[in-house]
Amino acid sequence: MRIIELKARQQEIIEIVKKNQPITSESIANLLNVSRSALRSDLSILTMSGFLEAKPKVGYFYVRSEERARLSKLIQGTKVGELMSLPVMLEEKSSVYDGIVSMFLEDVGTLLIVSKGYLVGVVSRKDFLKTAIGGSDITKIPIGMIMTRMPNVVVCHETDSIFNAAKKIITHEIDSLPVVEEHTKDGEVFYKVVGRFTKTNIAIQFVELCV
Ligand code: ADP
């Protein structure tokens, strides 16, 4: 492990190299608005301590520390199927009232909505709140009317890495992804639900990596 205090300037250089690699010392100097000679000692400290690698005629590269590389490999190598939770499913024709009751009883934040055994949508706490404050009779409205419907549902597969699944959760600003298996019928793709991958699954893994 590299235990070394870096100066602010050296940290800045590392960030520049990470974003622009391979990059010459001249370009780094231009980006920092300093002369090449003013950078010489920082660049040699960073290469000697293993943060950067200099390839002649190419430029500087960032070298990942062994610790980071190991952690990254572990996260990229862990599959959704190893961490996922059991799905909580409800039929599309169930009422909003039944959905709210299921959410409480099953203690989940998202319900996966199915019809004829296949995923047709998802419904979250906010969807229920919106409907409830709208003042409609929640015993009469079917969940199918308020859910986020296919093909707008973001899904993942058991074999996906948790890294890619977590990126989807962040990009789409959602709490969970249905884990599905694809079935093709008459040229059309249907999704059978096999699990759910949630922010809690990620938090558990995060804690386990630290113990
Ligand atoms: P909460 O309502 O608790 O904030 P989310 O952030 O997960 O939960 O949901 C926000 C919105 O995104 C809701 O309208 C919900 O229907 C929708 N949503 C939730 N999960 C998904 C998903 N996997 N794909 C597409 N939309 C989703």
Q: What is the pLDDT of residues 29-54, one digit of tens each?
A: 999 999 999 999 999 999 988 889 99
Residue 135, pLDDT above cutoff 90 = no
The stretch 138-153 carries a mean pLDDT of: 97
Cα-to-centroid distance, 82 and ligand 1 (Å): 23
> CA 86, 94, 137: angle at the middle one, nearest 5?
130
- Band of the pLDDT at 1, cuts 50, 70, 90? very low
**pLDDT for position 74:** 86
Cα-to-centroid distance, 182 and ligand 1 (Å): 21
pTM of this structure: 0.77
Residue 157 DSSP symbol: -
**pLDDT for position 136:** 86
Q: What is the mean pLDDT of the chain?
A: 93
Cα-to-centroid distance, 147 and ligand 1 (Å): 9
pLDDT digits (tens, 9 = 90+) for 155-171: 999 999 999 999 999 99
**pLDDT for position 95:** 97
> Ligand 1: which of 110, 123, 154 to mutate, judged by most atoms within 8 Å of the beta carbon?
110
Higher pLDDT, 81 or 57: 81
Higher pLDDT, 150 or 209: 150
Q: Return the ligand 1 atom nearest residue 124 CA.
A: 2
> Ligand 1: which of 104, 126, 146, 171 to mutate, judged by most atoms within 8 Å of the beta carbon?
126
**pLDDT for position 4:** 59
Residue 2, pLDDT above cutoff 70 = no
C-alpha 160/C-alpha 83 separation (Å) is 11
Residue 12, pLDDT above cutoff 60 = yes
Cβ 92 vs Cβ 57: under 8 Å: no
Q: Whose CA is nearest to atom 5 of ligand 1?
A: 174
**Residues at CB less than 6 angstroms from ligand 1:** 109-110, 122-127, 148, 152-154, 174-177
**pLDDT for position 93:** 96
Percent of the chain with pLDDT over 70: 98
